[in-house]
């Protein structure tokens, strides 16, 4: 039998909600204590330390060793004495050092706290303390910013720049190319691991869960026996100068998602799964009038335009059919 839109709606909402619970922190959202929820910030760098953590967490770097950040080591000469030498630090070493800081570092005598703070002022205050503690940590481990020690003011910016320049995730982020499944999988796993992710990471996580669809005990979801008929698409769009990732289910036909926009945007059988757009995530028909869906619809079709500036399917698969995506327990639906 064909899966009905109401079944897809329920499934999309479950996935969106679970992804949002597992990835609560976003570098362009902050907790508004007065509203009791998070606000969307267009500037991703406004919460500096969260943006830093996200860049470091996204994916393992496989690029070449950079030559800006150094690491001081000891070298034995003629088996008689040792001297300190400065060598280029690898991106992998930088990420390992940051992970060590996140796991073992302390701020104000307490372990690193990645939970939301009560408002932007507290976020900024914690960001300054985070930078100061990270600088001390890297300096103690022998890392140097060129020939000098790191400071609270430059440490996040300098480390993040070197990681971004050498990370293969930058190449995967090329909006003209498909995103490889191994990148989708790694992005989702790292976002779950650190609990940090913007719309791209949340979209990758939802996409991975829908392709590897199973329960927490790894059993396939019984009501999707004909899952090969349900297309799942990870979509990237731009509108009014902002970009956004979300997932579409059950869009039919062979037209490009941008060319086909007017049709599928009005089709109640096309289901959206968007974990990031609200604090609870949104799953349901694209024509729904829920608050989260209306926010997405306003993004895709502003009042002043007939549609978005740009839309592209970055990855495609089929519900429950895996498509070679490596499974992970984090992708399983909770009961």
> Is the pTM for the entire model greater than 0.95?
no
The torsion defined by the Cα of 47, 52, 53 and 57, in degrees rounded to 10, comes to: 140
Helix (H, G, I), strand (E, B) or coil at 173: coil
pLDDT of amino acid 276: 94
Which of 82-86, 166-170, 182-186, 245-249 has the highest average model confidence (pLDDT)?
A: 245-249
Residue 154's closest CA among 138, 177, 173, 175?
138
pLDDT reading at 57 higher than 60: yes
pLDDT of amino acid 152: 96
pLDDT of amino acid 228: 52
pLDDT reading at 100 higher than 80: yes
pLDDT of amino acid 180: 86
When the pLDDT of each residue in the chain is averaged and rounded to a whole number, the result is 85
Instruction: Return d(Cα 107, Cα 252) in angstroms, integer.
Output: 51
Query: Residue 283 half-sphere exposure, CB side, CA atoms within 13 Å?
Result: 26
The residues, any chain, with a CB within 8 Å of residue 299's CB and separated by 6 or more, are: 237, 239, 240, 242, 244, 308
pLDDT reading at 83 higher than 80: no
pLDDT of amino acid 2: 66
Greatest alpha-carbon pair distance for the chain in Å reads 78
| 144 band by pLDDT with thresholds 50, 70 and 90 | very high
Instruction: Return d(Cα 66, Cα 164) in angstroms, integer.
Output: 11
């Amino acid at each position: 039998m064909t899966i009905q839109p109401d079944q897809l709606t329920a499934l999309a909402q479950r996935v969106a909600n679970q992804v949002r619970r597992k990835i609560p922190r976003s570098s362009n959202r902050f907790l508004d204590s007065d509203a009791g929820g998070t606000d969307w910030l267009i500037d991703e760098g406004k919460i500096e330390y969260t943006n830093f953590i996200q860049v470091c967490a996204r994916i393992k770097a496989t690029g070449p060793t950079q030559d800006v950040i150094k690491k001081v080591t000891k070298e034995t000469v003629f088996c008689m004495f040792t001297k300190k030498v400065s060598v280029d630090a690898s991106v992998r070493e930088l990420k390992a050092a940051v992970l060590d800081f996140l796991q073992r570092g302390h701020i104000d005598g307490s372990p690193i706290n990645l939970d939301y703070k009560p408002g932007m002022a507290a976020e900024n205050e914690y960001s300054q303390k985070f930078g100061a503690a990270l600088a001390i940590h890297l300096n103690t481990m022998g890392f140097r910013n060129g020939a000098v020690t790191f400071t609270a003011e430059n440490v996040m910016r300098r480390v993040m720049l070197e990681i971004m320049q050498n990370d293969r995730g930058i190449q995967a982020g090329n909006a003209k190319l498909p995103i490889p499944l191994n990148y989708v999988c790694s992005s989702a796993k790292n976002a779950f691991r650190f609990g940090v992710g913007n719309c791209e990471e949340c979209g990758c996580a939802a996409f991975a869960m829908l392709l590897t669809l199973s329960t927490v005990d790894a059993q396939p979801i019984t009501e999707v026996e004909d899952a090969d008929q349900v297309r799942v698409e990870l979509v990237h769009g731009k509108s009014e100068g902002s970009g956004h990732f979300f997932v579409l289910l059950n869009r039919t036909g062979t037209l490009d998602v941008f060319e086909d926009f007017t049709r599928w945007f009005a089709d109640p059988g096309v289901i959206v799964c968007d974990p990031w757009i609200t604090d609870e995530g949104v799953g349901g028909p694209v024509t729904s009038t829920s608050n989260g869906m209306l926010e997405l619809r306003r993004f895709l079709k502003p009042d002043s335009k007939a549609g978005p500036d740009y839309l592209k399917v970055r990855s495609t698969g089929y519900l429950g059919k895996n498509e070679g995506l490596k499974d992970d327990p984090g992708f399983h639906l909770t009961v």
